[in-house]
Amino acid sequence: MLQVGKQAPAFNLESDSGTKISLASLGGTRVVLYFYPKDNTPGCTQESCDFRDNLSRIKALGAVVFGVSKDSVSSHKKFSEKFSLSFSLLSDPSHAMLEKYGVWKEKKLYGRSYMGVERTTVIIDEHGKIAQIFPKVKVKGHAESVIKVLQEM
């Protein structure tokens, strides 16, 4: 279970550009990881575009943004190009990182149970520790909430 103040779980995932991104390679940088269910769905598209539209403000606060889902690198690439996303999307098809971060959960839809990503955002400080966890994110206004936390760090 993730806890504020604890070390963030390590990861090393392929991005939409085909490069590997690891937590270790981001040392000294604040990291915003937003976990989302699926490329090209309305809520996920809105959330991604909100982060895109606020990226300069987030970067000015010394942070980088990564979207994470179980979708493939090729799906991420198409999604990123379609919406001109200016940050990397990380692919976790085995959902190993999603499980480490506690966002791979049982969900229900129309009485059917299935496993999927619970929309969550985690902010990691420049020392690799969890600074903030936003569980069960509501998309509207979320990027603004993330900026507010970064401003207070």
49 assigned to active site: no
Which of the pair, 149 or 107, is modelled with greater confidence? 149
**Does residue 150 contact residue 142 with C-beta atoms inside 8 Å?**
no
Q: What is the pLDDT of residues 37-92, one digit of tens each?
A: 999 898 899 999 999 999 999 999 999 999 999 999 999 999 999 999 999 999 99
Q: What is the pLDDT of residue 77?
A: 94
Domain ranges of the chain: 30-152
pLDDT recorded at residue 122: 97
The class level of CATH for 30-152 reads alpha beta
Catalytic residue among 31, 33, 44, 131: 44
Q: How confident is the model at residue 110 (pLDDT cuts 50, 70, 90)?
A: confident
Size (the chain), residues? 153
Is the pLDDT assigned to residue 109 strictly greater than 90? no
Q: What is the mean pLDDT of residues 132-141?
A: 91
Report the amino acid identity of residue 69. S
Predicted pLDDT at 35: 96
CA dihedral 44, 51, 136, 80 (to 10 degrees): 30
